[in-house]
Amino acid sequence: MCGIVGYCGYRPASVVLLEGLKRLEYRGYDSAGICVGTGNKFELLKKRGKIRELNELVGKRTLGDFGIGHTRWATHGEANDRNAHPHTSASGDVVLVHNGIIENYAELKKEFESSGQIFQSETDTEVIAFMIEDAYKGNLENAVREVLPLLKGTYGIAVIHKNEPGKIVGARNGSPLVLGIGEHEMFLASDVTAILAYTKDAVYLNDGELVSITKDGYRTFDINDTIIQKQVEQISWELEQIEKRGFKHFMQKEIHEQVESISRAFQGRLNKESATGHLGGLNMLPNELLGVRRVIIMAAGTSYHAGMIGAYLIEKLARIPASAELSSEIRYKNPVVEHDSLYFVVSQSGETADTLQAMREIQRKGGKVLGLCNVVGSTIARESDGGVYLHSGPEIAVASTKAFTSQLAVLYVLALSLARMRHLSIEDGLKIINALEVLPEKISSILKQTAHIEALAEKYHRYENFLFLGRGMNYPVAMEGALKLKEISYIHAEGYSAAEIKHGPIALINENTPSFFLVPDDLLRDKVITNMKEVKARKGKLIAVAVEGDLEIAGIADDVIYIPHTEEIMYPFLMVLPTQLFAYYCAIKLGRDVDQPRNLAKSVTVE
């Protein structure tokens, strides 16, 4: 993986490909390359490092009228020029880019190596080009169709052949691929952001589908060459949404966008008259929701932390047993699937490989799986049994911020809906709705403290280890705060329940390991204060996020970030903001690449 762009048309292909790859930088990558064709002549350019280095290689030339490009996030072989995509066949007639993993590539390579053929890279991708050349008998679509059943694993590929200038063949299995339709030009990409500057007409490929494009049209078909009629959909995002708009980084912009993104997440989904929530995309009747006896939320990374909070809230408000599970573990533990359990998968991109596989495993066993995702047309959106869009708008920074709080907003609406069908009173329902509606205002007030939080980052960014500690619903927030810090600043950080500190982590406490405590005004406040004092007694430095007016915390902690008062269950929304900002400013102080941190990819499409 990570990003694919293909183009056939009247514009210089190199310009379109490089601009598309630039739009895909946010996905994370370690090398980039393009292959452009003019007639049956190809020019292949690829380079380890950033796209600006590939740009320097291209120079001021405008090359080709069709071609393919790729940004690579290494899975097989180190990041270098040789392993960068595109890859070629032995003769160079076939050129290919690939997202995903070919699990049986070593076995396939041996067949060619035994006949004396030499591979130029350490990747799992190069062998596909060799295989397509071997199968080619004058028709590229047929050659690709012949090869695909021999591949085990996941792929999104785009292929060109010197004998068929102006044509690109794409195929998808487990890795996203979208077709963009223009006037006398066609686009292929792994993400709509790569083509949004040129068209808003898109066709999303499903697994097992192929597409062949030229500048004048396209054909979608399956492995048996059966034509598939696809619906042309409109891309809902605007180009300006994927621009920085005056902010230094996308992450900074997206932290500040939470004022609006949270509002969009519950807009039209709260009903004050009946004091409940409504998520129409669930495709479930009230009596079906009433029959739910258990809720399981499956997710990875940041989405898993949101799922933990959602499960806590569903159990607290609706009195339904609920849990969050790491989607990467679901598939391999032979889960017990019950007919009266409701399963949710949560993913910003809707393409997270682990979460997709978890969804399919539950569906295979007869379970109903609903999706919560941000990207329209994503695989989870298409394959789930119902679901809800977050409406966060594009999230470009690799480290998720606004998608996390939007996921929370949707999960809160879900919990409210389930609770009002059961035991929650209309008065308590209204209290939750009112608290949700004023969250944007409270978030805005926290964002006015950026200077204070930046000063704390200046004070603490040289420390090499941090503990993040919270209780109850704020324990997952502590985990998320630690994740953000390690993701973008590369400072080692761990998130724990504050109650667990005495069961091991307290051994790490000294004057060189600051502890970041989350201290809302809730039932567990006094217990968290006790944990803070335990750290203080061992000369540990304390940073606290506390509620305005809590002077006791100021007397214990070395530094305090204050947040507005809210209803007890709403604190996760407000507690997470200071941790996001602290991580952001620490990364800035350390000179990190905030939007594209090392080794990470935005959309993890491999297991």
Residue 244 sits at the vertex; the CA angle it makes with 238 and 247, to the nearest 5 degrees, is 145
Q: Which residues is 217 bridged to in the sheet?
A: 214
Residue 156 three-state SS = strand
Residue type, 191: D
Catalytic residue among 22, 109, 484, 602: 602
Decide: helix, strand or coil at residue 498: helix
Q: Are 377 and 202 in contact (CB under 8 A)?
A: yes
Find all residues with CB under 8 Å of 85, minimum gap 6, and list them: 31, 33, 46, 70, 72, 96, 97, 98, 123, 125
Euclidean distance between CA atoms 31 and 50, whole angstroms: 6
8 carries an active-site annotation = no
CA nearest 418: which of 295, 305, 296, 323? 295
DSSP state of 235: -
Chain-centroid distance of CA 502 in Å reads: 34
Q: One of 2, 8, 35, 586 is an active-site residue; which one?
A: 2
Structure tokens at 13: 């292909």
State the burial class of residue 573 (Cβ atoms within 10 Å of its Cβ: 0-12, 13-18, 19+): buried
Residue 382 C-beta-side C-alpha neighbours within 13 Å: 15
Helix, strand, coil % in the chain, rounded to nearest 5: 40, 25, 35
Report the Cα 288 to chain-centroid distance in Å.
Answer: 30
DSSP state of 227: B
* Contact predicate 157/170, CB 8 Å: yes
Taking a C-beta distance cutoff of 8 angstroms, is the pair 269, 279 a contact? Answer: yes
- Spatial distance between the Cα atoms of 459 and 440, rounded to a whole number of angstroms: 29
Q: Give the distance between the most distant pair of CA atoms in the chain.
A: 79
586 catalytic per annotation: no
Element (H, E) at 206: none
On whether the CB atoms of residues 415 and 317 are closer than 8 A, the answer is: yes
3-state secondary structure string across 59-83: CCCCCCCEEEEEEECCCCCCCCCCC
Q: By C-alpha distance, which of 166, 141, 133 is closest to 36?
A: 166
**Contact, 529 vs 477, CB < 8 A?**
no
The CA distance from 487 to 470, in Å, is: 20
Q: What is the DSSP letter of 245?
A: T
Q: Which amino acid is at 463?
A: Y
Separation in Å, CA 378 to CA 97, 334, 342, 350, 494? 21, 26, 21, 5, 32
Which residues are the active-site residues? 2, 602
